[in-house]
Structure 1
Amino acid sequence: MSQDDASPSKTPAPVRSALRHRNFRYFAGGQAISQTGTWMQYTAMAWLTYELGHSTIVLGLVAFAGQIPTFFLAPIAGVLSDRLDRRRTILLLQWIALLQAATLSALVWSRQINQWEIIAFSLVLGIVSAFETPLRHAFVADLVDDRQDLPGAIAINSAIVNGSRLVGPFVGGLLLATMGEAFCFMVNAVTHLPVIAGLLAMRNLAKSVPTARLDFRSGIRDGFRYAIGLPPVYALLAFMCLVSIMGMQGSVVLPAIVEDLVHAGPDLYGEMTGATGVGAILAGVYLAMRKTVHGLGIRIVMAGVIYGGGMLLFTWLSAPHLMLAVLAVTGFALMLIKAGGNIVLQTIVREEMRGRVMSFYTMAVLGTAPFGSLIAGTIAQFYGPMTSITVSGIFCLVGSAAFAWMLPFLRREALAHLPPEVGELPLGDAMETTAEVPLPQQDKS
């Protein structure tokens, strides 16, 4: 351990504790810039798509193309994450994402772009994301030398990824209104450079290839058995699947709401998309300040209720400032569901299974979303965007109630399936409001 990473005499707060690791600071700083640029591209891509055809179905197809690779490729990416050098693999993916954004910018600048080409670029970006996301989640653990600092690092990483939804769409909306879509795409290409520089500057990384001889089929099979053998784990993943499929409708149909119902332009669209980032940042700060996973289960349930109720409330509003406020609240709740589940899963997972379990998490959060995008676009096309959001809110409320009802059972199952000698903590305790959950010790074998 370097002097830069040495433990201070007093236990620091979770945020300071994670940021004392030099490699994590490099990665977090680069990600903050790059993820902001990526959200600028998402914002510009959705707006350009709707401007070209005014079809919510095509909007859904663009979102579908960007998300469906995760559903099919995340398990493979999880095995790769446990086999390959994570730093070098992420570095390669960053270069591909940079070239994709630069090429898209050039085509839009030359006015040689149509909706189907946008779908194709969305697919390329989706393939990169399918491999990069589980790698990035697992890579965070390689960047902190002290396992006690891992929850803070995960929360900071989640806050950066989700908090970029504030700055990225807001800046993207301003650039759309003043400079155009092509400029947004070029800026995104440039924002990948800080991540590349940070990855190249890292030193003394932890080993991240404990299962180099594992073949794909056995790796995926073992990872699936590991996850499905713990009812609380697959219950969490199932709940996040529901939220991703039926709870993300608003982000898909938002351009139609802004232009056709509110009669505003890309600046308000950027503000509305960014409003969810305000809540995400606050939720990320809240999670980063927590010292244990104690009580996260019940908080995830509460977040699901707030998220579903917030979407139903949104459908009754017409004033932009009230819509922005509700979107901020739902952004907080959504971040708490996704990042809270991430923290709980990463806290209990065995190191040799980390990449595969996080690939299932990626499938639950991102891989199932394309089906929701198609559902959202279709409902909005025939019944209106607000009807699509209403359906989402109802499903999220029902799912939250079911997950809350299962909590006592999940605790009993966790205690039954996880013997103490394994060295893992029962996830059921993380879902209790009365038990302090210690962090697991790393496997020394």
Structure 2
Amino acid sequence: MKPSELFRSLRSRNYRLYFTGQTISLIGTWMQRMAVSWLVFRLTHSSLMLGIVSFAGLIPAMLFSPYAGTLSDRHSRYRILLISQIASMMQSGLLAALVLLKYYNMTAIILLSIAQGVINAFDITSRQSLMVDLIDNKEDLPNAIGLNSSMVNLARLLGPAIAGVILSVFGEGICFLIDFLTFIAVIVSLLMMKLNLAPPERKNTSVWQGLKEGYSYLQLVPKVRAAILMLGAAGIFLMSFNTLTPVFAKDVFGGDAETYSWFASITGLGALGSAIYLAGLKPGKDMLKIIGVAGAVFALSVIMFSRVGSLPLALFFIMLSGAGMMAVIAATNTYVQTNVPGHMRGRMISYYAMAFQGALPVGSLLTGVVAHHIGAPRTVLFQGLAGLLCVIIFIWGIRRSRRRQAEQLQPAYSETIV
């Protein structure tokens, strides 16, 4: 594929602005995530506390995403996104101030994590559902989603690498300060956009009625529902194993903050390769098949990561896990966005976000609790096995659904021939 085809969605000015601003901002975001986990583990040396802080930062997505999705279908998605970015900047500034002033208070860290989780619930639904409006040629939407995933994982590759150096030399506070400053880029890029958005459809029904409509619609589209449920299962059993990477870095492999940054960066490298592959796919690819294959790769690599005693092998398998994880996330996003009508997009994206970031805190908390009792390696092994079982059920369910669909079409085809 020609490079011009791989980056074809960047021909849209608004998406180009969005892509540039988000890339800079997300590097800071990944630096903050690294620094928060390392700060908590450095202060408490507790797997349980890592799980609690991760749970606090992610559980609001499960609680607020459906509401946020309904809101984005009824109000300006652009305005919601702009407000959420400004709020995220304020949260990062407060976190930076606390740490730079050496006010190491776990309650404050947990409360700020909860605040960021609430903001993210509105940010994700508005950002994902707005993306189609940033593209001039709607056929470029799958490419834009793939490039968006590439951007996230480029940031995931660079952010932890930079954070590893800064954590070792300057400490966590500078990471938080840099994250605060990077929000300037995304806010400026949003203000520079020239959007011609149709006014959202006004309805007399309540937001809660809109939530009910979204749930009812989800029951009518079993394949969309299956894809979202698979993403949720991956969040609970597979993605949450990253909660324990500080434990593996320090206690299993005898490393430090730099070792921890290797885990995050190499995961980002695998995810970046996967995202670039998906961005280059031609329209019409079977996204459900990609979800199944990627889920199997993800689960098997997590199992192998839990069993190896060599750091190079661990890095190899965690890179594969990043590739599998990103393919599941991006393929699910593409399938949902290309198989639901516009008036339902915000609500379906909210269920996607709830599965992606809502199931993850449950998994993170369970991971921390279980690891506290049986250790990190055994916990990750059980997570991989549970994830593999979910993948097998997903593949079986999709094949069964397709067989039923083919059987229903066969009589009609036979009658046409006769």
TM-score, L = length of structure 1: 0.88
Q: Aligned residue for 1:195?
A: 186
Aligned match for 1:60, one of 51, 63, 72: 51
Q: Aligned residue for 1:325?
A: 316
C-alpha contact (below 8 Å) 1:142/1:207 kept by paired residues: no
Q: Aligned residue for 2:197?
A: 206
> Would you say 1:288 and 2:279 are equivalent positions?
yes
Aligned match for 1:221, one of 209, 212, 220: 212
Seen in structure 2, the aligned counterparts of structure 1 residues 146 and 384 have a Cα distance that, compared at 3 Å, is same
Aligned match for 1:334, one of 320, 325, 332: 325
Q: Aligned residue for 1:439?
A: none
C-alpha contact (below 8 Å) 2:66/2:351 kept by paired residues: yes
> Would you say 1:162 and 2:143 are equivalent positions?
no
Report matched runs for 1:78-89 at 5 Å.
78-89=69-80
Describe the superposition over 1:4-36 as per-residue Cα deviations: whole angstroms up to 9, x where unpaired.
Answer: xxxxxxx99543321100000000111111111
Aligned match for 2:258, one of 267, 281, 284: 267
Aligned match for 2:132, one of 109, 116, 141: 141
> Would you say 1:91 and 2:69 are equivalent positions?
no
* Deviation of 1:208 (Å): 5.8
- Structure 2: runs of 5 or more not aligned: 410-418
> Would you say 1:47 and 2:38 are equivalent positions?
yes
> Would you say 1:310 and 2:301 are equivalent positions?
yes
Describe the superposition over 1:146-169 as per-residue Cα deviations: whole angstroms up to 9, x where unpaired.
Answer: 211111111111221233211111
In the alignment, the residues of structure 1 paired with residue 195 and residue 126 of structure 2 have an alpha-carbon distance, to the nearest angstrom, of 18
* Deviation of 1:325 (Å): 1.3
Aligned match for 1:379, one of 370, 393, 409: 370
Letter of the 2:99 partner, please give it.
Answer: V
Q: Aligned residue for 2:413?
A: none
C-alpha contact (below 8 Å) 1:143/1:205 kept by paired residues: no
Letter of the 1:163 partner, please give it.
Answer: L
Q: Aligned residue for 2:387?
A: 396
Seen in structure 2, the aligned counterparts of structure 1 residues 12 and 146 have a Cα distance that, compared at 3 Å, is farther
Aligned match for 2:249, one of 258, 273, 276: 258
Letter of the 1:94 partner, please give it.
Answer: Q
In the alignment, the residues of structure 2 paired with residue 416 and residue 19 of structure 1 have an alpha-carbon distance, to the nearest angstrom, of 42
- Structure 1: runs of 5 or more not aligned: 1-10, 419-445
In the alignment, the residues of structure 1 paired with residue 201 and residue 322 of structure 2 have an alpha-carbon distance, to the nearest angstrom, of 36
Which of structure 1's runs of 4+ aligned residues deviate more than 6 A? 413-418
* Deviation of 1:119 (Å): 1.0
Seen in structure 2, the aligned counterparts of structure 1 residues 328 and 102 have a Cα distance that, compared at 3 Å, is same
* Deviation of 1:141 (Å): 0.7
Aligned match for 2:106, one of 110, 115, 118: 115
C-alpha contact (below 8 Å) 2:240/2:363 kept by paired residues: yes
Seen in structure 2, the aligned counterparts of structure 1 residues 124 and 169 have a Cα distance that, compared at 3 Å, is same
- Between 211-220 and 88-97, report the one with greater CA deviation: 211-220
In the alignment, the residues of structure 2 paired with residue 288 and residue 234 of structure 1 have an alpha-carbon distance, to the nearest angstrom, of 23
Describe the superposition over 1:282-313 as per-residue Cα deviations: whole angstroms up to 9, x where unpaired.
Answer: 11100110112422222211111111111111
Seen in structure 2, the aligned counterparts of structure 1 residues 326 and 202 have a Cα distance that, compared at 3 Å, is same
Q: SS state of the match for residue 318, structure 1?
A: coil
Describe the superposition over 1:62-98 as per-residue Cα deviations: whole angstroms up to 9, x where unpaired.
Answer: 0000100000100011011111212221111111111
* Deviation of 1:414 (Å): 6.7
Describe the superposition over 1:222-275 as per-residue Cα deviations: whole angstroms up to 9, x where unpaired.
Answer: 111111211111111111111101112321011111111111111110111111
Q: SS state of the match for residue 283, structure 2?
A: coil
In the alignment, the residues of structure 1 paired with residue 108 and residue 32 of structure 2 have an alpha-carbon distance, to the nearest angstrom, of 15
Seen in structure 2, the aligned counterparts of structure 1 residues 233 and 14 have a Cα distance that, compared at 3 Å, is farther
In the alignment, the residues of structure 2 paired with residue 335 and residue 91 of structure 1 have an alpha-carbon distance, to the nearest angstrom, of 26
Tell me the number of residue pairs that the alignment of Structure 1 and Structure 2 aligns: 408
Letter of the 2:218 partner, please give it.
Answer: A
Aligned match for 2:229, one of 222, 238, 246: 238
Larger relative helix fraction: 2
C-alpha contact (below 8 Å) 1:231/1:413 kept by paired residues: no
Q: Aligned residue for 1:29?
A: 20
C-alpha contact (below 8 Å) 2:287/2:334 kept by paired residues: no
In the alignment, the residues of structure 2 paired with residue 56 and residue 260 of structure 1 have an alpha-carbon distance, to the nearest angstrom, of 11
